[in-house]
Structure 1
Amino acid sequence: MLTFNKEEVMDICDGKKRRQVSGGVRGCRRSVAVKMKREAGKVLRSLTVEDNNRTEPMEEVEEEDDDDDDDCFSISFLRNDRLEPAVAVSPRYSLLREVGRGSYGVVYEAVARKTGARVAVKRLQCDAPENVELALAEFWALTSLENRHQNVVQLEECVLQKKGLAQKMSHGNKRSKQYLRLVETSLKGERILGHPEEPCYLWFVMEFCEGGDLNQYILSRRPDPQTNRSFMRQLTSAVAFLHKNNIVHRDLKPDNILISQKSGSPVLKVADFGLSKVCAGLNSKNSEERPAAGAGGRGSNQNNIININKFWLSSACGSDFYMAPEVWEGHYTAKADIFALGIIIWAMIERITFIDAESKRELLGTYIRQGTEIVPVGEALLENPKMVLHIPQKARSSMSEGLKKLLQDMLAVNPQDRPDAFQLEVRMGQVTCAA
């Protein structure tokens, strides 16, 4: 396990932030072109809610924070005795406790008042264009899914709150002035002039995940080959589902993979779509995405896979330890998700971890050692495309030859040498069944 010395200093090298550690302890480069901290969304649990496309009054809740304007969500763990509803409308959810907080949002465990079901409620403050862009990206990705998948977090509803009023968000709702203003803010990259800057929030109601994230689940238990095989199948199934629905996640990492244990067996849920990209309807005239030459896969069931792998993305974003080499250059396709998944599975199987200098958490992630530093695999491959990855990393690893070969293919420098999501799902099924 990697640790950091407390006497770390920061410097800028080639435009990238680098952490250097004294005393011979390995350091960790955390250089990412676009990296935004987002709260760990503890999301999971299905819930039926009433369809409400009209604007309705919201119950005002008195909080300890003066800037909170809340909402139709009753915060029951903060001064319940002081709650005095301003209107007769009852909130549909009671917020029980805070379970995550990031630079632009807070996540609560909540309960639906009608059904008693536990849900996760994520509140995102839309006070800046970059925050609006992340919120809308998550909203568009989750609402674009016509079908559910057991390994992808389910969005139950999204509520837009402003001036003490709430309106259920619906994709492309041209009748909602607030929705259109959010879209305009995101597209223009600046605040819309002429509109009052009162607090505006998006509330995401999602399934609640009581099992924590993949880091917590794996590292708090003894190694279990059967669980590993199950998780590998679930992860590849989730990514195949997303790619078939024209969604590139762009931030796959253990923090964004949550665990539900309601069925008795752990079920993975891919979550946090703030950096995701919906590629449906993209064309070569788009300024960020354009068709990739020679992209596509083989097979009779891959029409959507072929489409999504035809589009180049240019926004270099994600978390550095899981970013593919081409993402560092800002020129990549959906195959970048396959690379990230390879890093996650490799780290999970061999329990390769590091201590994050910012959060002080032990995280799953593979890396390359370079002197006193550790370097993300994708960055190292970009610098040295001929570098050979040593898979497995540990001498006593029980990794099968089939899985070893599959991981090598997933982590290929050239994206065209990687399997697409559909091929990966088939091969992973074969590898795990043979183990």
Structure 2
Amino acid sequence: METAGGPRPRRTRSVRACCRQTATQDKSTKREITNVLKSLSMGNTDEDDDTEIDDTYVFQKNGGSSIERRVMSPRYNILREVGRGSYGVVYEAVARRSGAKVAVKKLRCDAPENVELALQEFWALASLEKRHQNVVQLEECVLQRNGLAQKMSHGNKRSRQYLRLVETSLKGERVLSHPEEPCYLWFVMEFCEGGDLNQFILSRRPDPGTNSSFMLQLTSAVAFLHDNNIVHRDLKPDNILISEKSGTPVLKVADFGLSKVCAGLGGSAACSGKDGEDNHNKNRTSNINKYWLSSACGSDFFMAPEVWEGHYTAKADIFALGIIIWAMLERITFIDAESKRELLGTYVRQGEDIVPVGEALLENPKMVLHIPQRRRSSMSEGVKQLLMDMLAVNPQDRPDAFQLQARVDQVTC
């Protein structure tokens, strides 16, 4: 193995690539985007109209529309583009009424695979009834089509456009609109001004206090998601954002495009009695860890061995978290083949190649991981053993999210 500097992967087989790069929009594009999410009042709507007055928005285009309407001031002003990936663009914006900064993600829903990613993110975030300080908050989601838009609501059977979007994802073919009628989903979320975990860690000197805090926050977020029957499936430093509004860095797990909501699991059933809380934790984890997934997806350096085979449970998130924490503690990095960025990530060296840990363990299940890597590492025995358990080849040997949270509490004390 090798630490920060120049090791490059022998190949990049990530199912999903994300490249964040700052750019300046030209004036015409910015003017068009600034009109996003305007309030709309309509009259004489008939039963065939999906639009509800209270939940309707408009994306005004040049030339106006034949529909009579009264357009209010823009709800959000777009400031700049802050990220661009394979499936969408993220902007920094300001809510005009409150003055609060928000992030606005625009995803084009033309191809069925794009629709599936957008809906998975929407379903995951919309299914959360409670907020968690370490999970990015969705303020609203808006479906735009043919100049008009409608606020999305989870399971809205009255909206034909929503149902067609679901049908597009399920059938794998376009049913929502023609190619000349672009369709978009806009996600309005809390804005994280501190960048992602890569940028934050690698731009600062090592700080044991920050490392301990981040370990606690990450395990708390994953426990919350698993308690709500959500498997993230793409945990990596790129998808962990930093908010510094409170004066101290707060992690936010984001980007739920590959997530899976394990519907039908009763993980939040109330328990009573002396051991009620312990029984509650056991019940909620046993359910989600019995839900088997088969889509091999994620980013290769963070994928568990069983994900490469396409048969896994929520324990795959624990493996990915182990890779992230190990890389964060020892500042292990590699150079991404596509973006040429230095990224946090742990790997195994095979000759001149660097190989994802999960892939290497799949090829050689008896391989012993050298934790810590550095001889002068200050890693405690408790943290070392915890990482070994999180990165176990057999998922059953890994702690579940709630056991992990308790152990991190112990080792960081």
TM-score bracket relative to the smaller structure: 0.7 to 0.9
Residue number among 152, 157, 163 corresponding to 1:180 in the alignment:
163
Q: Indicate the residue corresponding to 2:199 in structure 1.
A: 216
Tell me, what secondary structure is at the counterpart of 2:241? Answer: strand
**Structure 2: distance between partners of 1:383 and 1:272:** 29
**Structure 1: distance between partners of 2:411 and 2:363:** 31
Write out per-residue CA displacement over residues 54-93 of structure 1, whole angstroms, 9 at most, x where no aligned residue: 464524256xxxxxx999xxxxxxxxxxxxxx95332210
Instruction: Give matches, 1:341-352, under 5 Å.
Output: 341-352=321-332
Instruction: Give matches, 1:1-400, under 5 Å.
Output: 1=3, 27-32=9-14, 35-38=15-18, 40=20, 53-54=52-53, 56=56, 58-60=58-60, 88-192=71-175, 197-281=180-264, 299-302=278-281, 303-400=283-380
Q: Across the two proteins, how many residue pairs are aligned to each other? A: 371
**Structure 2: distance between partners of 1:193 and 1:221:** 47
Higher helix share: 2
Shift of 1:129: 0.2
Tell me, what secondary structure is at the counterpart of 1:90? Answer: strand
Whether the aligned pair in 1 keeps the contact of 2:219 and 2:404 (CA below 8 Å) is: yes
Whether the aligned pair in 2 keeps the contact of 1:58 and 1:91 (CA below 8 Å) is: no
Tell me, what secondary structure is at the counterpart of 1:368? Answer: strand
* 2:118 aligned partner, one-letter code: A
* 2:181 aligned partner, one-letter code: E
**Structure 1: distance between partners of 2:306 and 2:21:** 28
Shift of 1:205: 0.3
**Structure 1: distance between partners of 2:364 and 2:52:** 54
Whether the aligned pair in 1 keeps the contact of 2:136 and 2:253 (CA below 8 Å) is: yes
Shift of 1:104: 1.7
Q: Indicate the residue corresponding to 2:273 in structure 1.
A: none
**What's the Cα RMSD here?**
2.6
TM-score normalized with structure 2 length? 0.85
Tell me, what secondary structure is at the counterpart of 2:78? Answer: strand
**Structure 2: distance between partners of 1:169 and 1:193:** 15
**Structure 2: distance between partners of 1:155 and 1:347:** 29
**Structure 1: distance between partners of 2:196 and 2:238:** 6
Whether the aligned pair in 2 keeps the contact of 1:126 and 1:199 (CA below 8 Å) is: yes
Residue number among 401, 407, 411 corresponding to 1:427 in the alignment:
407
Tell me, what secondary structure is at the counterpart of 1:375? Answer: strand
Q: Indicate the residue corresponding to 1:411 in structure 2.
A: 391
Whether the aligned pair in 1 keeps the contact of 2:323 and 2:345 (CA below 8 Å) is: yes
Q: Structure 1 97/26 Cα, relative in aligned 2: closer, same or farther at 3 Å?
A: closer
TM-score normalized with structure 1 length? 0.81
**Structure 1: distance between partners of 2:375 and 2:236:** 25
* 2:328 aligned partner, one-letter code: M
* 1:309 aligned partner, one-letter code: N
Q: Indicate the residue corresponding to 1:293 in structure 2.
A: none
Shift of 1:281: 1.3
* 2:233 aligned partner, one-letter code: R
Tell me, what secondary structure is at the counterpart of 2:89? Answer: strand
Shift of 1:99: 0.3
Tell me, what secondary structure is at the counterpart of 1:312? Answer: coil
Write out per-residue CA displacement over residues 302-328 of structure 1, whole angstroms, 9 at most, x where no aligned residue: 222111001110000000000000000
Q: Note the residue ranges of structure 2 that are not aligned, 5 or more in a row.
A: 23-37, 41-50, 267-276
**Structure 1: distance between partners of 2:187 and 2:52:** 15
Shift of 1:38: 4.2
Shift of 1:37: 2.7
Whether the aligned pair in 1 keeps the contact of 2:9 and 2:334 (CA below 8 Å) is: no
Q: Indicate the residue corresponding to 1:9 in structure 2.
A: none
Tell me, what secondary structure is at the counterpart of 1:203? Answer: strand
**Structure 1: distance between partners of 2:9 and 2:179:** 46
Tell me, what secondary structure is at the counterpart of 1:161? Answer: strand
Shift of 1:36: 2.3
Shift of 1:103: 1.5
Shift of 1:300: 1.8
Q: Indicate the residue corresponding to 1:65 in structure 2.
A: none
| Percent identity between the two aligned chains | 77
**Structure 2: distance between partners of 1:186 and 1:282:** 23
Q: Structure 1 50/200 Cα, relative in aligned 2: closer, same or farther at 3 Å?
A: closer
**Structure 2: distance between partners of 1:355 and 1:90:** 45
